[in-house]
Amino acid sequence: TQLLEQSPQFLSIQEGENLTVYCNSSSVFSSLQWYRQEPGEGPVLLVTVVTGGEVKKLKRLTFQFGDARKDSSLHITAAQPGDTGLYLCAGARQGAQKLVFGQGTRLTINP
């Protein structure tokens, strides 16, 4: 059983469309991170959210941490082919030190 459930697992859309990826858990997290991974490389950090209800923006990407700190979402506006990749959420539960990852959302943006 995955501690962090991501949905959808696969998403293929056209350039210019908007999309949202979700990361859900029944556990409370002290912080949650989003990473992006390209083929043949390790994941690279995009953002860290630590406060319930927090919203962070990174150009066309908007990240939100749920009020109860159990879930998070990543919204991409006007997706571009360069956004293609594997998006992973990761977090450590309160009182624990393990950094665990969701299974990822494999995003493909078609020109």
Partner 1 sequence: DAGVIQSPRHEVTEMGQEVTLRCKPISGHDYLFWYRQTMMRGLELLIYFNNNVPIDDSGMPEDRFSAKMPNASFSTLKIQPSEPRDSAVYFCASRLRWGGEAFFGQGTRLTVV
Give residues in contact with partner 1 (CB under 8 A): 2, 30-31, 33, 40-45, 48, 50, 88, 90, 92, 97-104
Measured from the CB of residue 79, what is the shortest distance to partner 1 in angstroms? Answer: 23
Closest distance of CB 5 from partner 1, Å = 11
Q: Which two tokens stand for residue 63?
A: 């990240």
Q: Which is nearer to partner 1, 30 or 110 (CB)?
A: 30
Cβ-based neighbour number of residue 11 at 10 Å: 17
**Phi, psi angle pair for 72, to nearest 5°:** -150, 160
We find the least distance from the C-beta atom of residue 70 to partner 1, in angstroms, to be: 18
Run of H or E residues at 72: strand 71-76
Beta bridge partners of 104: none
- In the complex, least distance from residue 104 CB atom to partner 1, rounded to whole angstroms: 6
Q: What are the start-end ranges of the E strands in 8-58?
A: 10-14, 19-24, 29-37, 44-49, 55-58
Is the CB of 63 or the CB of 101 nearer to partner 1? 101
Name the residue nearer to partner 1 (CB basis): 48 or 84: 48
Structure tokens at 100: 């665990």
Q: Which is nearer to partner 1, 43 or 66 (CB)?
A: 43
